[in-house]
Structure 1
Amino acid sequence: MSPRELIVLGTASAVPTRQRNHNGYFLRWGDKGVLCDPGEGTQRQMSHAGIAAHDITTVCITHFHGDHCLGLPGVIQRIARDGVPHDVTVAFPNAGRAYFDRLRWASEFQPTDVIRPHPVAGSTPEPFGMPSITALPLRHSVPVYGYRIEDPSHVRVRGDELAAAGVRGPAVGQLKSTGSYVTDDGRTFLLDDFSDTVQGMSVAFVMDTGVCDNAVELACGVDLLVIESTYLESEREYAQRYRHLTAMQAGRIAAQAGAKKLLLTHFSERYTIDDGALFAREAATVFSGPIVVAHDLLRISLR
């Protein structure tokens, strides 16, 4: 399998700290690269992580609060400066198109024509890109979309069982292409009886939202859920007021969605790196799977 890896570029929420850069997540997906929510300092964090502008094929902006987008001008200008030859799709909420246009042309630079804006709108925008990316609206103080990145599902034939039944070679190819195979002696074999549907690898990004059904839908069965957990339960009142999640609420979304692994991020500046265990402990009260508390430049293999 081609490499699949998440590199965390930043883990702060509205205010960066000495320990945490603003948001930023780079998903290496084979020869593709998805950059999600580049906040301030993203270019420098990319250098620390060994990510080149040429590695980026898609940028996903969940919304236009500064900690999720103010690194975009620098990233676009770096794409131009480094002469990236391939198209780079930039997805963002259409309701914030004016902000995208300002960020796209935030300062004087030698422009590039490889940037391809992809505004998303409505309750169920069409999937786009390669790998396939699905966007769904979440619940925040401004229009915000979460993103799900995934490979398509595929059918895996149980060849050993077919071989034991005497079906081999070209007959297996016919079974896979037509869904059935009839032997010379009249026996019928159906693909559904000798195959399994294997779900493709998937990652969901759920940022800046209150509890909502679409957060669960985006995360349904994903291999990795990257989700904001701005507060602990002791500050749940703030979470409700500003439409954010606590670590326990993030864990509950992961549990309801059947996510395989949970990555907590986007922490309020009131917390330090030493508080990470508190976030993991809260989420673990409702989610039994693996829990990772993100820190800057963390790398997670998705093999």
Structure 2
Amino acid sequence: MGPSFLPRLVNGPFDDPALFVPFRHQHRALLFDLGDITALAPRDILKISHIFITHTHMDHFAGFDRVLRILLGRDKDLFLYGPRGFLANLSGKLAGYCWNLVEGYANRFTLHATEIHPDRALSCQYPCQTGFLADGGIRESPFDGIALREPALTVRAVHLDHGTPVLAFRLDERFRINIIKSALDRLRVPPGPWLNRFKALLYEGANPDTIVRIPATAGPSLEGMSLGALKAAIARVSPGQRLAYIADAAGTPENMKKMVALAQGADHLFVEAAFSDNDRDIARRKNHLTARQAGRLARACRVKQYSLFHYSPRYSDCPEMLEMEAEEAFRG
């Protein structure tokens, strides 16, 4: 029974931040931060449905042009999230190109952007066929800490200080549904897209008596089963996966308190470790975490696993120093 999310950092620890999170057995992925993503294949970029951006410093947002170029001329809705000022930054990016040919595109490609403030969210959409001009104005709604809410998952966002407002994110799977292949074989039921519908009904909390239609190839004796009976027969439900992503944040007591609350109990924490504790004064001036702070954070959150990234180039000859420093702090 494998995990539902298969996260991986796009680049090495000295390169731009970007966390790619594909979904197992689905043509879908999430992306956290959008630095240089030339290492991502076009087929991976085409899977991305939502992008969560901590802030728009160049090393966290420069990959937007590659995403835009690959998605042009395709039927696609892409959702992006960022902190205060994000809509203006995104509009500026889009205004930097001439779009006189896109009105003839047969495909419909639309960007849906949300700027997250501590108490509200500002949303706007940018259709390709209008040259990415903002459509319908900016819509304001209350923000309750959840950037994305779906039946199977949520993405939470918390505001941190980096000398500028930045976001940190947590991805929560409600619960995990594993299909028992041997049970399908016993019922002579084929796997296929119908299982996605079955899982969706479970995540929606549908009535157990709901009939789930099964492909005709299962044979005339089995056209459908009740959701409850099918769940008991072919599914194993287990606790969901939790991932946390923290980049570019000062190691202040207020920030640390927020980060601990966000990443508590994470299966995998992805956290920056820009400087050694020997250079903590530099880290403080630049509003970054040290490797020791990253390790202490992972320990305080009782995470099962953590990955460090976003190292300062001053450690290019000794990255193991940051890794050892974080590990010592993690083990206490």
Same fold (TM over 0.5): yes
Q: Which position in structure 2 is the counterpart of 1:278?
A: 321
| Map of 1:161 onto structure 2 | none
Contact 1:229–1:265, Cα closer than 8 Å, also in 2: yes
Residue in 2 that maps onto 1:145: 167
Q: 2:44 & 2:175 partners in 1: Cα distance?
A: 30
Say if 2:113 is the partner of 1:117. yes
How far off its partner does 1:154 sit? 7.4
Structure 1 counterpart of 2:59, one-letter code: D
Offset from partner CA, 1:245-301 (integer Å, 9 cap, x none):
0100001111111111110000111121x5232112111222139xxxxxxxxxxxx
Cα distance change, pair 261–145 in 1 and its aligned pair in 2 (3 A): same
The DSSP-based 3-state class of the residue aligned with 2:97 is coil
C-alpha distance in structure 2 between counterparts of 1:45 and 1:90, whole Å: 20
The 1-side partners of 2:288 and 2:72 are apart by 35
Aligned identity (percent) is 23
**RCO higher in 1 or 2 (8 Å CA, sep ≥ 6)?**
1
Q: Distance in 2 between matches of 1:199 and 1:87?
A: 30
Residue 37 of structure 1 aligns with an amino acid whose one-letter code is D
Judge conservation of contact 1:204–1:222 (CA < 8 Å) in 2. yes
2-structure distance, mates of 1:228, 1:54: 27
Aligned letter for 2:146? Answer: E
Which residue of structure 1 lines up, in the alignment, with residue 86 of structure 2?
A: 96
Equivalent AA in structure 2 for residue 63 of structure 1: H
- Give the corresponding residue for 1:5: 6
Partner of 1:25: 19
Distance 1:230-1:75 versus aligned 2 partners, 3 A rule: same
Aligned counterparts of 2:20 and 2:175: Cα–Cα separation in 1: 23
Q: Residue deviations 1:149-185, cap 9 Å, x none?
A: 1101479xxxxxxxxxxxxxxxxxxxx999xxxxxxx
Aligned to 1:233: 277
Structure 2 CA distance for partners of 1:24 and 1:202, relative to 1, 3 Å: same
Q: How does 1:141-220 map to 2 (within 5 A)?
A: 141-153=163-175, 199-211=239-251, 212=255, 213-220=257-264
The whole-number CA distance in structure 2 between the counterparts of 1:277 and 1:64 is 29
Distance 1:114 1:285, change over 3 A: same
CA distance in structure 1 between the aligned counterparts of 2:118 and 2:306, rounded to whole angstroms: 27
- Which sections of structure 2, spanning at least 5 residues, go unmatched? 103-107, 120-143, 178-204, 208-236
CA drift at 1:118: 2.0
Measure how far apart 1:52 and its partner are. Answer: 2.7
8 Å contact from structure 1 (residues 57, 87) kept in 2: yes
Q: Give the equivalent residue in structure 1 for 2:67.
A: 75
Match of 2:299 in 1: 255
The C-alpha deviation readout for 1:50-109, integer Å capped at 9, x for no partner, is: 75332111111100111101111221221114x1x3422101113332112212443235
Shift of 1:204: 0.7
Query: Hey, what's the Cα distance between the residues in 2 that align with 1:129 and 1:79?
Result: 24
Structure 1 residue matching 2:322: 3-state secondary structure: helix
CA distance in 2, matches of 1:148, 1:67: 21
Range that drifts further, 275-284 or 135-144: 275-284
Q: Which amino acid aligns with 2:30?
A: V
Secondary structure at the aligned position of 2:245 is classed as strand
List alignment gaps of at least 5 residues for structure 1.
13-19, 156-175, 179-196, 290-303
User: Hey, what does 2:201 align to over in structure 1?
Assistant: none
Do the aligned partners of 1:70 and 1:103 also contact (CA within 8 Å) in 2? no
Question: 1:210-265 deviations in whole A, cap 9, x for unaligned?
Answer: 12211112211011100110001111101111110010000111111111111000
Q: Are residues 1:57 and 2:97 paired?
A: no
Q: 274-283 vs 139-148, which deviates more? A: 274-283
104-113 or 258-267: which moved more? Answer: 104-113
* Aligned length, in residue pairs: 238
> Among residues 31, 42, 45, which one is paired with 2:39 in the alignment?
45
Measure, in 1, the Cα distance between the counterparts of 2:303 and 2:5.
17
Distance 1:107 1:24 in 2: 24
Per the alignment, residue 146 of structure 2 pairs with 126
Paired with 2:43 and 2:305, the residues of 1 have a C-alpha distance of 24
